[in-house]
Amino acid sequence: MGTLAAPTVEGGASFSPVRAMSRGGNYEVIATVAMSNSYATGGDTFTLPGEVSGKDLVSVEVLSRSDLTRWYEWDGSTSAPKIRALTALPNTQVAGSTDLSATTLKVRVIYAG
Q: What is the mean pLDDT of the chain?
A: 79
Query: Looking at residue 84, what is its pLDDT?
Result: 94
Torsion of CA 78, 39, 31, 5, to 10 degrees: 110
Query: What is the rounded end-to-end Cα distance, in angstroms, of the chain?
Result: 26
- What tens digit of pLDDT does each residue of 23-71 get? 667 888 888 888 899 999 899 987 777 767 778 889 999 998 888 889 9
Q: What is the spatial distance between Cα 35 and Cα 44, in angstroms, rounded to a whole number?
A: 7
Query: Which segments of 26-79 does DSSP mark as H helices, in order?
Result: none
**Between 6 and 77, residue with greater pLDDT:** 77
Query: Whole-model pTM?
Result: 0.76
pLDDT at 110 over 70: yes
Query: Does residue 7 have a pLDDT over 50?
Result: no
Q: CB count, 10 Å around CB of 42? A: 12
pLDDT for 10 equals 36
* pLDDT recorded at residue 14: 39
User: What is the number of other CB atoms lying within 10 angstroms of the CB of residue 107?
Assistant: 23
Domains of the chain: 3-112 (2.60.40)
Neighbouring C-beta atoms of residue 20, cutoff 10 Å: 12
